[in-house]
DNA sequence: ATCTTAAGCAACCTCCAGGTTGCATATTAG
DNA sequence: CTAATATGCAACCTGGAGGTTGCTTAAGAT
C-alpha cells in the first residue's frame, strides 16, 4: 500500500460534472456496464463518455475490466468513502467552533 | 425558499481545487477572515484568492460581509451537508446492491 | 489633509477540460 | 470468410478556469 495522498481535490473535481455524476449514479447500483451501454440515452458521443469514464477511473471511483470485445465498468466505493470522511472532519471542526462560541456566550 | 436545485455538481466542482479546499479548511474553523488575511501564506495573488472565494460563494459554501474597508468571509455549512447527503445516498445504493448479491448467492 | 491599506474592476494570457470527427483494430455473429 | 459491433487512438476545436498586472476607489491611520 502506497502512501495515500492527502489530496482529495481530484476526487471532488471528478464529481464536479453532471455527466460524471450520472455515470456514478448508474454504476453505484452494482451493475456493470460497457461503454456502449453507458452511452445509450446520453446525448454525448461514445468517445466523450469514454473520457469521462477515464477521469473517474483515474481517481479510483470506477474500475474497468476487459471482457471480450467490451470493457465493463464497475463502481468502487473507497474514494467516495474517503471524501465523506474528509467532509465529516470539516463538519466536525465547524461544530466545535460553534460550541466554543456557545460556551463563550453563556459564561 | 426557492426550489433547491437538484444539481450538486457545482458544489463538488467548487471543492475540486487545492486552493479552495485549504480556504475551506481555514474558514470552517469558525473564524472570519478578510481577503488579505486569507492571502497571507498563499503563494497566489490577492486577486487569485478573491476569484476562488467568489467561486465558493457562488455555490454558497462561503458568505462575505463587508465590514469597513474589508470584506470578511465566513463558512456556511449547508451546501456541504447537502453533498454529504448525496454521497450517503450513493453509498446506500451500493450497499443495497451488495446485500442483494449476497442473498442471491446464499440461496 | 495625506498616506496607506483593503478591495474592486478589467484586460489579458495560457492551458486544458470537454466535445467532435475520422480511422484503425479486435471480437463476435452469420 | 465477412459483416457488424465495441473500443482505442489521435488530431483538432473552443470556451472557460486559474493566474497575472495595472489602475481606481473606499476607509483607516497619523
Q: How many alpha carbons fall within 13 Å on the CB side of residue A96?
A: 9
Q: Which helix (H) or strand (E) holds B76?
A: none
Number of CB pairs, chain A paired with chain B, less than 8 A apart: 99
Q: How far is CA B7 from the centre of its chain?
A: 14
Integer CA distances (angstroms), B106 to A29, B26, B98, B101, in order: 20, 49, 12, 9
* Torsional sign, CA A4, B57, B33, B70: positive
Q: How many domains is chain B built from?
A: 1
B3 assigned to some structural domain: no
Whether residue A84 and residue B101 make contact (CB cut-off 8 A), yes or no, is no
Question: What whole-number percentage of chain B has pLDDT above 70?
Answer: 93
Asked whether residue B20 is domain-assigned, the answer is yes
Which three three-digit cell numbers place residue B30? 469558525
Q: Is B42 exposed, middle or buried (0-12, 13-18, 19+ CB in 10 A)?
A: middle
Domain housing A83: 9-106
Contact between A24 and A75 (Cβ < 8 Å): yes
Q: B1 or B21, which is more confident?
A: B21
Residues 31-90 of A with CB under 8 A from B: 31, 75, 77, 80-81, 83-84, 87-88, 90
pLDDT at B58 over 80: yes
Inside any domain, residue B73? yes
Residue B3 has pLDDT above 90, yes or no: no
CATH number where A93 lies: 1.10.10.10
Residues 22-41 of A with CB under 7 A from strand D: 34-37
The pLDDT of residue A5 is 55
- Cβ contacts of B30 on chain A, cutoff 8 Å: 93-94, 96-98, 100-101
Instruction: List pLDDT tens digits, range B67-80.
Output: 999 999 999 999 99
- Sort strands A33-34 and A62-67 into parallel, antiparallel or unpaired: unpaired
In a domain, B97, yes or no: yes
Any domain includes A1: no
- Whether the pLDDT of residue B6 is over 80: the answer is no
pLDDT exceeds 90 at position A4:
no
For residues B42-66, average pLDDT: 97
> How many CB atoms neighbour CB A22 within 10 A?
15
Distance between CA atoms of residues B28 and B19, nearest Å: 14
Round to whole Å and give the CA distance between B78 and A37.
36
Amino acid at each position: 500500500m502506497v502512501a495515500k495522498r492527502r489530496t482529495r481535490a481530484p476526487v471532488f473535481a471528478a464529481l464536479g460534472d453532471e455527466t460524471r455524476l450520472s455515470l456514478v449514479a448508474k454504476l453505484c447500483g452494482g451493475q456493470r456496464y460497457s461503454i456502449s451501454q453507458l452511452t445509450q440515452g446520453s446525448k454525448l458521443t461514445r468517445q466523450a463518455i469514454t473520457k469521462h469514464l477515464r477521469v473517474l477511473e483515474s481517481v479510483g471511483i470506477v474500475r474497468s475490466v476487459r471482457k471480450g470485445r467490451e470493457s465493463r465498468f464497475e463502481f468502487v466505493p473507497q474514494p467516495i468513502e474517503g471524501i465523506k470522511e474528509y467532509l465529516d472532519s470539516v463538519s466536525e471542526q465547524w461544530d466545535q467552533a460553534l460550541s466554543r462560541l456557545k460556551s463563550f456566550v453563556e459564561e
